[in-house]
Amino acid sequence: MEEDIVTGILISEEGALSLDEMIHACGAEAQWIVELVEVGILVPKGVEVAAWRFGAADLIRARRLARLQRDFGAGTEAAAVILDLLDEIERLRAQLRRAGMQIG
Amino acid sequence: MEFKDYYKILAVERTASEGEIKRSYRKLARKYHPDVSKEPDAAERMQEVNEAYEVLKDPEKRAAYDRLGSGFQAGQEFHPPPGWDAGFEFRGAPFGEALGADFSEFFATLFGGGGTTRHASAFRARGEDHHAKVLIDLEDAFRSASRTVTLRTPELDQQGRLATHERTLQVKIPKGVREGQLIRLAGQGSPGPGGSPAGDLYLEIHFKPHPLYRVDGRDLYLTLPLTPWEAALGARVKAPTPSGGVEVKVPPGSQGGRKLRLKGRGIPGAPPGDLYLVLEVVLPAADSERAKQLYQTLARELAFNPRRTLGV
């Protein structure tokens, strides 16, 4: 039985989601997202709130942060540090992979 | 459905205090949290642990759960006795579904139903968004493909009780897609309350590890083994690429670790990525008399000390 193939919109690093869409995608409150932008954890394009456009990396980062806050009871600042460290680990892993090492 | 032994999952006694439960949860969270864990089944274990904690940390839910009795084994076939939850009112919702929380049929049946199950501090004008990861082959990025994604989503049935509902989708993976990008499928999330529009589904793209190529953004890396004479004298050798084999010119005087860049042979795009060949010099084994002689000739006639800079 042939299933219909669904086609979506590709969201890349370039901004694509508005604040409302971000709120909805994270299941979060507006204030939480705004705070993350204010402390520089999320960096949307656009200056005014209405013009903010978040990319795929922002959405993934925000959800990861929420999980860290939920699962470890981490404050926003601590969760942000954890995120940065995780990113750095991933960067280092990528470097090792490029050099030919088998890194998981 | 299967009985879940939450005390066993959290590795605590049935008589454990709130503090002991919290401590045990924290320890397990550090072990199985998907962002930091090295365990192969981390995501599943974390969901289990989160679900168990959700019940045992809440005095009301815990009391109701304890009421079921201690006679059941984990994994045993189980049905809640009628009226088991009489007198209990479960406030609050399970952790927001948008965070990717998934819960067992056991939890959904016992704690998911009745009353309000969504913390609607803001009126939700449409269904919740869902998130899932999709694993694709590197080749899918070179030519568009379609992938099957299986989703387990919680949905309210006619009685207003939560049930997990499994469905599959065939999703088009566009050419040029990269790791970490999202495909947003409108209307494939949770159905909206009261007939309002459904939420969206966000698919996070991840490449399966490839036997040959390492992926970094749009660029690919491939180790290219060479013989010592190919590296030293230069050579034309064949190399694979995802878009077909090519012949590469290895410059004379090459050493292991050197990178040769094949422009535009990475993941398609505007601009396309590059394919880097990382040269690796491989020594033939000295496993025959002839091979040993040839090596010894080289050793005698090529004055070469790779350790001269070590001062020994």
pLDDT in tens, A55-80: 999 999 999 999 888 888 888 889 98
Q: Which range scores top for mean pLDDT: B104-113, B155-164, B170-179, B228-237?
A: B228-237
How large is the ipTM? 0.87
Pick the closest to residue A79 from A89, A88, A68 (CA basis).
A68
Does A56 contact B168 at a Cβ distance shorter than 8 Å?
Answer: no
Does B99 contact A100 at a Cβ distance shorter than 8 Å?
Answer: no
Of B29, B46, B98, the CB nearest to A27: B98
Q: C-alpha angle B94/B113/B88, rounded to 5°?
A: 90
- Is the model's pLDDT at B117 over the cut of 60? no
- Is the model's pLDDT at B124 over the cut of 90? no
- Is the model's pLDDT at B101 over the cut of 60? no
Q: Which range scores top for mean pLDDT: A50-59, B24-33, B227-236?
A: B227-236
Overall average pLDDT of the B7-17 stretch: 93
Q: A-chain residues within 8 Å CB-CB of B202?
A: 11, 25, 59
Strand partners, B166: B152
Q: How confident is the model at residue A18 (pLDDT cuts 50, 70, 90)?
A: very high
- Is the model's pLDDT at B21 over the cut of 90? yes
User: Which of A6, A7, A59, A64 is the mutation pick for testing B, counting most B CBs within 10 A?
Assistant: A6
Does B99 contact A64 at a Cβ distance shorter than 8 Å?
Answer: no
Does B257 contact A60 at a Cβ distance shorter than 8 Å?
Answer: no
CB count within 10 Å of CB B27 equals 13
Does B35 contact A68 at a Cβ distance shorter than 8 Å?
Answer: yes
Which carries the bigger pLDDT value, residue B299 or residue B70?
Answer: B299
Q: Over the Cα atoms of chain A, what is R_g? A: 16
What residue of B is the nearest CA neighbor of A61?
Answer: B180
- Is the model's pLDDT at B118 over the cut of 60? no
Overall average pLDDT of the A74-97 stretch: 88
Of B29, B181, B278, the CB nearest to A10: B181
Q: Distance from A17 to chain B by nearest Cα, in Å?
A: 10
Does B170 contact A98 at a Cβ distance shorter than 8 Å?
Answer: no
**Positive or negative: CA dihedral B240, B242, B247, B248:** negative
- Is the model's pLDDT at B116 over the cut of 50? no
Q: A-chain residues within 8 Å CB-CB of B199?
A: 24
- Is the model's pLDDT at B39 over the cut of 90? no
Weakest mean pLDDT among A70-79, B171-180, B232-241, B283-292: A70-79
Q: How confident is the model at residue B115 (pLDDT cuts 50, 70, 90)?
A: very low
- Is the model's pLDDT at B15 over the cut of 80? yes
What residue of B is the nearest CA neighbor of A70?
Answer: B95
Q: How confident is the model at residue B300 (pLDDT cuts 50, 70, 90)?
A: very high
Q: What is d(CA B80, CA B82) in angstroms, rounded to the nearest whole number? A: 6
- Is the model's pLDDT at B285 over the cut of 70? yes
| Model pLDDT, residue B160 | 56
Pick the closest to residue A83 from A97, A63, A102, A99 (CA basis).
A63
| Model pLDDT, residue B156 | 59
Measured CA to CA in angstroms, residue B224 lies from B84, B207, B237, B280 at distances of 66, 22, 9, 6
| Model pLDDT, residue B192 | 78
Q: Distance from B8 to chain A by nearest Cα, in Å?
A: 19
Does B185 contact A6 at a Cβ distance shorter than 8 Å?
Answer: yes
- Is the model's pLDDT at B208 over the cut of 60? yes
- Is the model's pLDDT at B225 over the cut of 80? yes
Overall average pLDDT of the B197-211 stretch: 91
What residue of A is the nearest CA neighbor of B49?
Answer: A71
Q: Which range scores top for mean pLDDT: B154-163, B185-194, B275-284?
A: B275-284
Q: How confident is the model at residue B155 (pLDDT cuts 50, 70, 90)?
A: low
| Model pLDDT, residue B90 | 58
What residue of B is the nearest CA neighbor of A91?
Answer: B216
Q: Distance from B206 to chain A by nearest Cα, in Å?
A: 13
SS (H, E, C) B57-119: CCHHHHHHHHHCCCCCCCCCECCCCCCCCCCCCCCCCCCCHHHCCCCCHHHHHHHCCCCCCCC
Q: What is the pLDDT of residues B69-85, one digit of tens each?
A: 777 777 777 777 777 76
Of A7, A67, A73, the CB nearest to B172: A7
Report whether A55 contacts A16 (CB < 8 A). Answer: yes
Does B171 contact A5 at a Cβ distance shorter than 8 Å?
Answer: yes
